[in-house]
Amino acid sequence: MHGLVATPIGAPVVYKSATLTSAVIPVPRINGLGVATVFAVIGDDSKPWIQVLLPTRPNGATGWVQRSKVRITATDVQLVVDLSRRLLTVNRANHAVMKARVAIGSVTNPTPTGATYITELLDTGKPNGAYGPFAFGLALHSNTLTEFEGGNGQVAIHGTNSPTLIGQRVSHGCVRLNNADVLRLVSLKLALGTPVFIY
């Protein structure tokens, strides 16, 4: 099983339906964190129009891009976050290559569920800070917060400076890992667009 990633050639042009006369959905070429936008492909890439999952609100929003306007790459890696078990699993070619306990969103600000993908990998510059050394941004946003600490409520998988809280429902919606585990995740060299399934 593999996922397909669509990287725009130039500025992304996303349509509401698979026709040039359809309305255009505004999606920036560079996101708010300074990273070039990528999309996860829904279905296959064999036709002139490709349906893609968008990194914008609302969660699960989709659009259409012309096949000729994107570069398609494939990944055999996927991340699965089981909220009830507080467990993140990384599968490569359908084999688990990493498992780690996580902390998840609180009852008030639960971690959103569904299919999403990695939009960026950020070096926080503060390995002992609240987000640990690295954060993987997701094409997913909180359903309860429209902004958080100046951001737009985007959900991420990141480290923590409170490892004793791993396994609990304590975050604002993000998925927290021990810093050693987030470093393991970084070492896997996950491609932007890698699928993530949260349930």
Q: What does pLDDT average to over the chain?
A: 96
User: What letters, b where the CB count within 10 A reaches 16 and e where it falls short, cover 1-17?
Assistant: eebbbbbbeeebbbbee
Chain centroid to CA 37: 12
**For residues 176 and 153, what is the distance between their CA atoms, to the nearest angstrom?**
15
The per-residue pLDDT for 150 is 67
Name residue, tokens 């600490």: 149
The predicted structure's pLDDT at residue 149: 73
191 HSE (CA, 13 A, CB side): 20
Tokens 């560079």 belong to 30
What pLDDT, in 10s, does the model give residues 160-193?
Answer: 999 999 999 999 999 999 999 999 999 999 999 9
pLDDT at 1 over 90: no
Residue 147 has pLDDT above 90, yes or no: no
In the sheet with 154-158, reading across from the earlier edge strand, the strands are 95-101, 87-92, 77-82, 195-198, 114-123, 134-141, 154-158, 175-176
What is the spatial distance between Cα 60 and Cα 27, in angstroms, rounded to a whole number?
15
Q: What's the length of the chain?
A: 199
Q: What is the pTM of this model?
A: 0.95
